[in-house]
């Protein structure tokens, strides 16, 4: 929704939503208070069967990649609205295929992540040859489809320079980083000391989050408990209190929080133990915006201009990850100084105000190139 706010400064905005759970999402982030949805399309299942499964794998131009399509009448309304627009900004790599549209003149595709990089991360950490082989095949065919987006859209944007390089660079690919809302006041932290706390926040049913927390619980948490007796691990976010929650007695499963800032202010550190995934993690910007010290895997901090020991601590080895967490608890001064540097970097690079000019540049580039093409 922050991209939509920036686009309102470019011209009159008409918002179309392709989602089955938009009402819930809009309520959670307050989007319904700021935007009027002109069209709301709920996709329908259209499973690939028989020869379609083979086409989905081998034909990079096949559109029903996800087995989900748009119903005809709603699709027609959106197409009519798009035909009247000078710029169509698409905020998801799935939507072009769900709408069954190949060519998007005067269209900009905003990748929140690059799907094939998710398979790349699985391949890189695959525990056995079969898993690595499967992920290699999935990455190869997904990337073939992604490279064709430069043919389908006038301009594109990704979240990091690394993703732009991965897609072949080019001046039609813009970098618009992930960001977070600037707090109305400078954060005031009060880390709990009796007992100390570290935490994680995120949608728990999302596979990379679930796998990352399980990796942390199995490999890092026992070491941290020995180093800091009585410590609590706080899990916050939707479904962290659901059926998949950890059963350990020193883990507090909080669920979705109305005021996550007050909870995070009590943590000595936020952990981002991501093992697989694509794109960049908004958790980084979230933690920086709250002056919460961060311990992350390198993948968890992917795409951000950060350095170990400057804005956060980075570790992929379980013992090193655990030691980093313990060090932030024991050395409050060093942790606070690191979090202060991260907060300053956040204000400079990752607030929505800082990111908005990149949205404007991408929109103007698309409009300019579309005008040249028309003429």
Bridge partners for 40 per DSSP: 17
Residue 236 CA to chain centroid, in angstroms? 17
Dihedral sign, CA of 136, 148, 14, 112?
positive
pLDDT band at 21 (very low <50, low <70, confident <90, very high): low
Contact residues for 307 (Cβ-Cβ < 8 A; gap 6+): none
Domain ranges across the chain: 2-179+352-374, 197-349
Instruction: Give percent of the chain above pLDDT 70.
Output: 94
Res 30 pLDDT > 80: no
Res 235 pLDDT > 60: yes
Write down the architecture of domain 2-179+352-374 according to CATH: 3-Layer(aba) Sandwich (3.40)
- Which of 312, 304, 298 shows the shortest CA–CA distance to 282? 304
**Which pLDDT score is estimated for 82?**
87
CATH classification for the domain delimited by 197-349, as one of 3.40.50.620, 3.30.2320.50, 3.40.50.2000, 3.40.50.150: 3.40.50.2000
pLDDT band at 26 (very low <50, low <70, confident <90, very high): very low
Report the range out of 55-59, 70-74, 88-92 with the highest average pLDDT.
88-92
Beta strand 104-110 with 88-90 is parallel
Range list of H helices, the chain: 2-7, 22-29, 51-58, 72-84, 95-98, 115-125, 129-147, 149-152, 161-166, 207-219, 221-227, 260-264, 282-289, 318-330, 332-349, 352-374
Same CATH topology for 2-179+352-374 and 197-349?
yes
Mean pLDDT of the chain: 90
Q: 103-141 pLDDT, tens per residue?
A: 999 999 998 788 899 999 988 886 788 888 999 998 999
53: three-class secondary structure by DSSP: helix
**Which pLDDT score is estimated for 209?**
94
How confident is the model over 174-196, as a mean pLDDT? 93
Instruction: Give the global pTM.
Output: 0.88
Structural tokens at position 288? 């920086």
């Amino acid at each position: 929704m922050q991209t939509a706010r920036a686009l309102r400064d470019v011209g009159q905005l008409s918002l179309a939503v392709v989602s089955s759970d938009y009402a819930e999402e809009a309520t959670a982030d307050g989007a319904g208070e700021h935007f009027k949805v002109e069209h709301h399309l709920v996709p329908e299942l259209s499973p690939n069967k028989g020869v379609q499964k083979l086409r989905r794998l081998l034909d990079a131009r096949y559109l029903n990649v996800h087995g989900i399509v748009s119903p005809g009448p709603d699709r027609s309304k959106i197409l009519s609205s798009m035909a009247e627009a000078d710029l169509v900004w698409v905020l998801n790599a799935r939507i072009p295929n769900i709408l069954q549209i190949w060519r998007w003149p005067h269209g900009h595709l905003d990748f929140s992540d690059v799907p094939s990089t998710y398979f790349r991360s699985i391949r890189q950490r695959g525990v056995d040859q079969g898993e690595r082989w499967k992920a290699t095949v999935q990455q190869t065919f997904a990337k073939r489809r992604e490279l064709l987006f430069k043919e389908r859209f006038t301009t594109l944007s990704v979240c990091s320079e690394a993703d732009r390089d991965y897609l072949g660079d080019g001046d039609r690919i813009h970098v618009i980083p992930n960001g977070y809302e600037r707090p109305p006041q400078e954060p005031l932290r009060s880390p709990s000391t009796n007992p100390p706390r570290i935490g994680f926040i995120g949608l728990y049913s999302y596979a990379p989050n679930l796998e990352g927390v399980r990796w942390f619980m199995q490999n890092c948490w026992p070491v941290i408990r020995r180093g800091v007796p009585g410590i609590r691990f706080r899990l916050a976010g939707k479904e962290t209190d659901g059926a998949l929650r950890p059963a350990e007695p020193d883990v507090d499963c909080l669920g979705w929080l109305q005021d996550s800032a007050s909870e995070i202010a009590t943590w000595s550190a936020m952990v981002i133990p991501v093992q697989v995934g694509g794109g960049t993690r908004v958790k980084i910007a979230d933690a920086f915006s709250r002056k919460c010290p961060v311990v992350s895997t390198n993948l968890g901090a992917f795409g951000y201009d950060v350095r170990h020991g400057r804005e956060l601590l980075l570790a992929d080895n379980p013992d090193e990850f655990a030691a980093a967490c313990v060090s932030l608890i024991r050395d409050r001064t060093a942790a606070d100084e690191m979090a202060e540097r991260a907060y300053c970097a956040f204000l400079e690079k990752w607030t929505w105000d800082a990111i908005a000019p990149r949205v404007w540049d991408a929109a103007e580039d698309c409009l300019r190139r579309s005008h040249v093409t028309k003429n």
